[in-house]
Structure 1
Amino acid sequence: MIPFPEGISPDIFTISLGSFKFTLYWYALAYVVGIIAWWRIAAVALKRNSLWPGNIAPMQAAKLEDLVTYLVLGIILGGRLGYVIFYNPTYFFNNPVEIMFVWQGGMSFHGGLFGVAIAGFLFFQRNSVAIRSGADLLALGSPVGLFLGRIANFINDELWGRTTDVPWGFIVTSPDASKVCGDLIDPCVRHPSQLYEAILEGLILFLLLLFLAFRKKVLRDPGFLAGVFFIGYGLSRSFVELFRQPDEQFQSPSNPLGFFIQIGEMGLTMGQILSIPMIFIGFVLCFTSSKNKTA
């Protein structure tokens, strides 16, 4: 068993000037660095015309700054509304003002993805960018942000996996992380599901997309890379859901594993339900990509 590292905190530093107080959190830094990393990777790809259909990049790298503005809005609005709608609609229906309290936590990847899709579509339509190639561009560096976000979840001591006795399980001591163990399990050891996701949907998926884009040049088949991203994330998330601690709002005495859809002792979590359409869409994009050389 591995003790959870001592001395790490969700916040990096705090600056106080009179009544003004600013705190930089690891989670916020993960968003910022993830977006900058995507920006840099996208710029490199756009400057290599040979990677794209007809040896012509779908847009100029100089336009990325405008695209990032769209994407930031899509991530924040989509991520927050996704959490509200998919994971805790009753609470926020009764407390609508708290929908705006993003700093209190509560963001959904699937909601953020939907927001990015809408934001990207609007930008691509306005700037005459081929939708499928635009989707490939969005997918290329996205796993970097996913990796950093899951590392931030780990540092924040949140989104732990279920209790376990595997040698690589982490001993957690914070009240929120250890309450699932109650007084019956000491020490409280849980799957580091945040790290599972960081490795699968972050590091491994990122390396795969880089290999396909820059070595195999699959960007010449518009939509293929986006399809691989959808499939890779959907499969990774569905697998890790088997180890993640269920969302409290979905749990009950008859449904201890927090399935959103339950059939007997089996079922699907909300994360798995939202990932299944991603996998399906991913296969459609991959199988139709060669037919859309100019899409």
Structure 2
Amino acid sequence: MIYLHQLDPVALALGPLQIHWYGVMYLLAFAACWFLGRLRIRAGRLPGVDEAGYGDLLFYCMLGVVLGGRIGYILFYDLSAYIAHPLDVLKIWQGGMSFHGGLLGVLVAAWWWSRRQGLHFFDVADFIAPLVPPGLGFGRIGNFINGELWGKFTHAGWGVIFPTAPEFIGWTPARLQAAYAAGALDQYARHPSPLYEATLEGLVMFVVLWVYSRKPRPRYRIAALFALMYGCFRFLVEFVRVPDAQLGYLAFGWLTMGQVLELPVIAFGLYCLWRSFGAPTLRPQPLAADAR
């Protein structure tokens, strides 16, 4: 059934204070990362690190996600607009976060923390990889609630009509509702691409990585699986997702910035996979009960 998107991006309004669902999704992402990370720490998946040490790692990675994600979006997607309106940099509740920027931010934070702890960076990367997909899934749900990052037109029965799309500029909610009730908007139904990504990058990647990482794996292997899965999933979804209006297609009438940015991610995954052959395998060392 074709669905008319009518979700309010504001979760709670207390006078002038507004709590947006996009921000709530970030809180849920960090909460999931904290909970799942503690389980892996207790199982000894990062030997020599206790829950307090993991708390430090998570804090640095949170900074990396927010700062890297925002800076990445500005640099990769809309630099000229933010130069014209610099205060918009602070409006993260309106979206405008780049996964690739956030990934770079997390890698830098993890590298810095690893160096301070005297740990191999890729042991930390392998530890973190299964914790990231829930955050990706929550983030994409936030995109969907915001009515952004919609896909191309579709005749599929699960298509969604996004009032934020350009074809509805100037339409009032009443006009939209009346046209939808009359079945006059079915031709404008679009792929709910944020939900596709929430399913693939969030749910599917989490299940695969969590199950795969339950047994000791050679160094680099889990990070490789993460990068290859994300790179391929995102590259494919971009075919049904409308590119950012300020960029459009970069080449061939189908290549998007998202696909261009996936190429180094996939290359990184292949590099890690190659390095994993013959690499040592880190053995779990569960924490003692009194160390929790």
TM-score (norm 1): 0.84
Aligned partner of 2:178 in structure 1 is none
1:112 aligns with 2:102: yes
Aligned residue type for 1:163: F
Q: Which blocks of at least 5 consecutive residues in structure 2 are unaligned? A: 172-183, 283-292
Aligned partner of 1:28 in structure 2 is 23
TM-score (norm 2): 0.85
Q: CA deviation at 1:222?
A: 1.6
Structure 1 residues 96-107: aligned runs within 5 Å: 96-107=86-97
Aligned partner of 2:11 in structure 1 is 12
Which one of the candidate residues 107, 113, 117 is aligned to 1:127? Answer: 117
2:124 and 2:168 mapped to 1: Cα distance?
Answer: 43
Relative to structure 1, the CA distance from residue 246 to residue 294 in structure 2 (aligned partners, 3 Å threshold; closer, same or farther) is: same
Q: CA deviation at 1:270?
A: 0.4
Which one of the candidate residues 100, 125, 141 is aligned to 1:151? Answer: 141
Q: CA deviation at 1:149?
A: 1.0
Aligned residue type for 1:206: F
Structure 1 residues 84-99: aligned runs within 5 Å: 84-99=74-89
Aligned partner of 1:222 in structure 2 is 219
1:129 and 1:29 mapped to 2: Cα distance?
Answer: 33
Aligned partner of 1:233 in structure 2 is 230
Q: Cα deviation per residue 1:207-255 (whole Å; 9 max; x = unaligned)? A: 00011011xx14x3122111111111110100000001121112xxxxx
- 2:22–2:139 Cα contact (<8 Å) kept: yes
- 2:22–2:95 Cα contact (<8 Å) kept: no
SS class of match (1:221): coil
Identity in percent: 37
1:42 aligns with 2:30: no
Instruction: Judging by fraction of residues, say which structure has more strand.
Output: 1
- 2:123–2:219 Cα contact (<8 Å) kept: yes
Relative to structure 1, the CA distance from residue 191 to residue 182 in structure 2 (aligned partners, 3 Å threshold; closer, same or farther) is: farther
Aligned partner of 1:249 in structure 2 is 246
Runs (4+) of structure 1 exceeding 4 A deviation are: 180-183
Structure 1 vs Structure 2 CA RMSD: 2.2
- 1:147–1:201 Cα contact (<8 Å) kept: yes
| Aligned residue pair count | 269
Q: Cα deviation per residue 1:238-276 (whole Å; 9 max; x = unaligned)? A: 0000001121112xxxxxxx222x14xx44210001011
1:248 and 1:5 mapped to 2: Cα distance?
Answer: 20
Aligned partner of 1:83 in structure 2 is 73
Greater RCO (Cα-Cα under 8 Å, separation 6 or more)? 2
